[in-house]
């Protein structure tokens, strides 16, 4: 039985969402190509921003030709469909339990054979909590590769928007970090809490304020999100020679 408060909340949320909803792309109306698959792990807090998907998918569909789904899939490393997820999302605030050797092996195989992981430390505390646990795990999973800041000419900064700085709910790093294997960066990592900036409640209100930059910083977070998703589908496409003169001209 639905309560009066619940009924009003639902009705108001529906109205706001209809009002805020942008024009639907006519083209890819059929079925989704993109969805967030969020990794649920043991210990810590695996889901710090449970409402981050909706606004990001709307923005994605509004700005790009990618067809997305607002349905978030929660997964583990033992999920048999893990290897079919276009983007594995992992977020957290606190230190989590170490992965088992089997989990590490699966993640290593996933990352070294074309899988893509976007991870976020939503607290942004360098060397503590989630940051420390995640870096430790990456060292164990890909010991020969370092998680480090991506250079300004990395494809993720130009896959859709030409980005010079990374926004977010907070501004810990103006850049993304990543682990690069040959020409492909299967691991992207941010401590700016991008998903915190994307989070919107069911009434259409932003869940978090972006500090210190306010709404431009949120806008920047959405651009970074779109670039990350486009990058996960196009890899280093923007490094092709055909793009060079255009990008160079616009950056000057």
Partner 1 sequence: MNGIPVFPLWLILILLALGWTAVIVQYGLIRRRLGSSRAIILSLLRLGVILLLLSFALNPSTTARKEHKMLSPIAILLDTSQSMGLATQSGKSSRLEDAKALLLDGEKSLLKSLTGRVEVKLYALGDSLRAFDGGELSLLKATRKQVDLSEALDRLRREYSLAILLSDGNLKWEKKNSAGIPLITIPVGDTGEYRDTLIKEVKTPPLAFRGREVRIDVTIKSYGYAGLTLPVLLKDGNRLLKAKNMTIKQTSDEITFPLSFIPEEVGQHHLSVSIPPQFGESLTSNNSVHFSLRVVRDKIRILMVSGNPSMSYRFMRMALKNDPSIDLLSFVILRTPSNVLNVPIQEQSLIPFPVETLFSKELKNFDLLLFDNFPYQFYFNPKVLEPVREFVRDGGSFSMIGGPNVFDSYAGTPVEDILPVRLTGRRDYHRDAPLEVKLTPVGANHPITRLSLDENENVRLWQEMPSLDGVNLLDPKSSGRVLLESGERASWPILTVGDYGKGRVLVLSTDDSWKWYMGMVAKGKGQWAYLRFIEKMVRWLTKDPSLDPVQIILPERAGTAGQETGVRITLRENDLSPNPKGVISLSVVNPDGLKIASDLKTTGPSGEYVGSFFPEKEGMHKIKVETPFGSVEESLAITRPGEDLDGAPQHERLRMISASTGGKFLSRGDDLLKEIEPYVGRDAYRFIEERSLQLWSRPYVLAILLLLLTTEWYLRRRWGMV
Using CB under 8 A, list all residues that contact partner 1.
22-23, 25-28, 30-31, 33, 62-67, 80, 82-84, 86, 109-110, 113-115, 158-162, 183-184, 219, 223, 229-230, 232-235, 237-238, 240, 242-243, 246-247, 250
By C-beta, is 54 or 112 nearer to partner 1?
112
By C-beta, is 66 or 141 nearer to partner 1?
66
In angstroms, the CA 72 to CA 198 distance is 14
> Least separation, in Å, of the C-beta of 32 and partner 1?
9
> Least separation, in Å, of the C-beta of 204 and partner 1?
18
> Least separation, in Å, of the C-beta of 23 and partner 1?
7
> Least separation, in Å, of the C-beta of 145 and partner 1?
18
In angstroms, the CA 223 to CA 63 distance is 10
Alpha helices in 24-83 (DSSP H): 53-63
In angstroms, the CA 27 to CA 41 distance is 37
By C-beta, is 64 or 208 nearer to partner 1?
64
């Amino acid at each position: 039985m639905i309560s009066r408060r619940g009924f009003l909340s639902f009705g108001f949320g529906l109205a706001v969402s209809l009002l805020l909803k942008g024009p639907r792309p006519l083209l890819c109306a059929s079925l989704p190509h993109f969805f967030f698959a969020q990794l649920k792990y043991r210990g810590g807090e695996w889901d710090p921003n449970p409402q981050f998907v909706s606004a990001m998918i709307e923005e994605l569909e509004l700005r790009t030709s990618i067809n997305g789904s607002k349905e978030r899939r929660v997964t583990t490393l033992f999920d048999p469909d893990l290897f079919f997820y276009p983007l594995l999302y992992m977020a957290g605030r606190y230190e989590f339990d170490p992965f088992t050797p089997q989990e590490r092996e699966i993640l290593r195989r996933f990352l070294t054979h074309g899988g893509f992981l976007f991870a976020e430390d939503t607290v942004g505390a360098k060397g503590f909590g989630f940051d420390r646990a995640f870096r430790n795990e990456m060292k164990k999973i890909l010991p020969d590769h370092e998680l480090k800041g991506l250079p300004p000419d990395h494809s993720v900064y130009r896959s859709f928007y030409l980005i010079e700085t990374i926004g977010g709910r907070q501004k810990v790093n103006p850049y993304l970090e990543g682990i690069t294997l040959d020409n492909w960066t299967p691991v992207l990592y941010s401590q700016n809490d991008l998903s915190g900036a994307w989070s919107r409640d069911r009434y259409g209100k932003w869940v978090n304020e972006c500090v210190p930059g306010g709404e431009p910083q949120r806008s920047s977070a959405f651009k970074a999100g779109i670039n990350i998703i486009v990058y996960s589908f196009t890899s280093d496409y923007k490094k092709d020679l055909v793009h060079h003169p255009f990008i160079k001209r616009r950056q000057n």
